[in-house]
Structure 1
Amino acid sequence: MTNKVIHAIYNDDDVLMDAVKATRAAHHHIEEVYTPFPVHGLDKAMGLAPTRLAICAFLYGVCGISFATWMMNNIMIVDWPQDIGGKPSFSYIENMPAFVPVMFEMTVFFAAHLMVITFYMRSKLWPFKEAENPDVRTTDDHFLMEVELKGSEEEAVSFFKSTGAVEVKVIEKH
């Protein structure tokens, strides 16, 4: 089954924001918005749910500090205790002030690297993946709003022209 979508192209981010609000007010379903740079407030205007990536970052940081604690305890206390700089190696707690920089760095390392992997997986950005950008101009200076077409094509085209679109196309999607 094929369905049609409308590609409304804008050349100003403020006009795009007003068009997104008008489109949502008219109860059209916005499939996607392609922009050459992040537009502040666009996610709220589109009605997208808040991101949960911050929760993932916290959990990855907890994994990092846990791994660092386990690693330093096993290496420096259990497996190969050494007297470095006069610091006793009887217990982890006694040596913990010396381990704080390592714990911090491992927390940041885990959070940063696992967040990048999570972002790529969540965004479905795999190596060698073909670009899904419907119009090349959206990587330079134009904004594209892809809207599911319901009802009359003529009414929809005139609606999007009235929102400030410089170009409106009806495309068949497979």
Structure 2
Amino acid sequence: MKSPQKPFVEIYADGACSGNPGVGGYGAILKSGEKSKELSGCDPMTTNNRMELMGVISALEALKKPCSVMVTTDSTYVMKGMSEWIEGWIKNNWRNSQKKEVLNRDLWQRLLKASEPHEIQWHWIRGHNGHVENERCDFLAREEIKKCRKSFGVRACEKA
């Protein structure tokens, strides 16, 4: 008996930060056929790289079954981390090439777990270059920064 083909999902994700560290937001779009879903969130004290990771993580964690996925990101950090660096980090007990602890290990491990059931292709695009979905994700991330500032207060979101 032939196994059914995995559904194909396109994921677009972006993160933003006002101050680095500072208040941050992320946005993601999932598309499958005619269906589309947007996700976003914020953190009152974070970094841009953490928000870039959270955009992809939130989208992958939203998938309910194994899929064939194309992740499009403007973050070389996320793309290279998952396609080039992560195997070495794991092999070296989460140490980078300079033998230092990998930054954002908690999110890399979460992304790795969220990726496991899926077949993923990673695609990098230049940010702020007119790519419709990337621009929308950037907008969602920046709107989350505004919401976060209102929810937590500007002082709680600014670097001390």
Q: Flag whether TM exceeds 0.5 (same fold).
A: no
Q: Which has the higher strand share?
A: 2
Give the greater-gyration-radius structure (CA). 1
TM-score, structure 2 normalization: 0.23
Ranked by relative contact order (alpha carbons within 8 Å, sequence separation 6 or more), the top structure is: 1
Q: TM-score, normalised by structure 1?
A: 0.22
Q: Which has the higher helix share?
A: 1
